[in-house]
Structure 1
Amino acid sequence: MRMTWADFWALIATLDGAATQASCERLAKELSRRPVPEIIGFAERHAEALYRLDQEKFGTLPVVDLTARYGSPFPQSSDVFLYTRCAVVAAGQAVWESVSFDIDRFSPYTASECDGEWFLYVPDTAYELATGEDWDRSTRYCFESYSNRDGWPHLRGLRPKWLTGIS
């Protein structure tokens, strides 16, 4: 069974716009009641949605509510950038689509209270609930920060060691 984008966004809507622990656990339970191929399909859409946001124009934005020494902007780490992208996807289809056209719509999700880390684990949790087994997930798209070569054109020849082997 294939997970369509419409099905994916309908499931995301159950988060009510935020990737809280409770909302992500609720989504994982809902997803776990579906056939395993749908859980895998959700994981593919999940990874692709995060991958599409993996772009320099978003990753180089500072964290909005933090400043570094002497008041300079505080940069996003690779983990913060990943969790920020999770928060954007969890906010829903309209937000996810709008940030591509208006970078200012992405900025608020860099705030420390917008941590979307719980969303990252939804597919794995759903799989484990459905099968009783750990999942060594592999998806077509890598959701890790800086893996989208098209989104980070100046990094194409400068791939970090931890990305070696990721295409």
Structure 2
Amino acid sequence: MTWADFWALIGTLNGEATQASCARLAEELSRRPVHDIIGFAERHAEALYRLDQEKFGTLPVTDLSDRDGRPFPQSADQFLYTRCAVVAAGRAVWESVFFDVDRFAPYTSTSYDGEWLLYVPDQAHELATGEEWDRTTRYCFETFSNTDGWPHLRN
């Protein structure tokens, strides 16, 4: 799957990875050949992997603070869901954050949650084949996987 095809499919989310919009995307993707579902999963994993960087992961949650009023850090899971929300926002947003970290910051808000986007390839595969898919992708999208993005964590 080309990046253009991936971003066109992401565009069907209308900027947000809600349960309903992700179900529509999975349905749309399920009508394509299985290799397109795999291609979508690969592009999605790579898009998330590229966002897995310290400059984004160390941003605080914008609308939370601790009891002392200090910024509340993103958890590893929240950072993953935030990266999904950035991808769901579309290509222009995704590309812009690499040049301006302040464009990433709003997506750390608890009002954004892109978790549903993680399940789209699995749902599409099951709809297309009737079978569960235990997939792996070239890029791991879990937080801290991109060692180049977290240089101080390298051994």
TM-score, length-normalised on structure 1? 0.92
Q: 2:129 corresponds to which residue?
A: 131
The CA deviation at 1:156 is 1.3
Displaced runs of 4+ in structure 1, greater than 4 A?
none
| CA distance in structure 1 between the partners assigned to 2:70 and 2:150 by the alignment | 23
| CA distance in structure 1 between the partners assigned to 2:154 and 2:25 by the alignment | 35
Percent identity of paired positions between Structure 1 and Structure 2: 80
Q: Choose the corresponding residue for 2:117, options 116, 119, 123.
A: 119
Q: Number of paired residues?
A: 155
Q: 1:71 corresponds to which residue?
A: 69
| CA distance in structure 2 between the partners assigned to 1:96 and 1:12 by the alignment | 11
Q: 1:37 corresponds to which residue?
A: 35
The CA deviation at 1:128 is 0.9
Q: 1:106 corresponds to which residue?
A: 104
The CA deviation at 1:53 is 0.1
| CA distance in structure 2 between the partners assigned to 1:58 and 1:69 by the alignment | 23
Stretches of structure 2 that go unaligned for 5 or more consecutive residues are: none
Q: 1:163 corresponds to which residue?
A: none
How far does the alpha carbon of each residue in 1:90-134 deviate from its partner, in whole angstroms, 9 at most, with x for none?
A: 000000000000000000000001011101111111111111111
| CA distance in structure 2 between the partners assigned to 1:137 and 1:126 by the alignment | 12
The CA deviation at 1:151 is 0.2
Stretches of structure 1 that go unaligned for 5 or more consecutive residues are: 158-167
| CA distance in structure 2 between the partners assigned to 1:156 and 1:126 by the alignment | 36
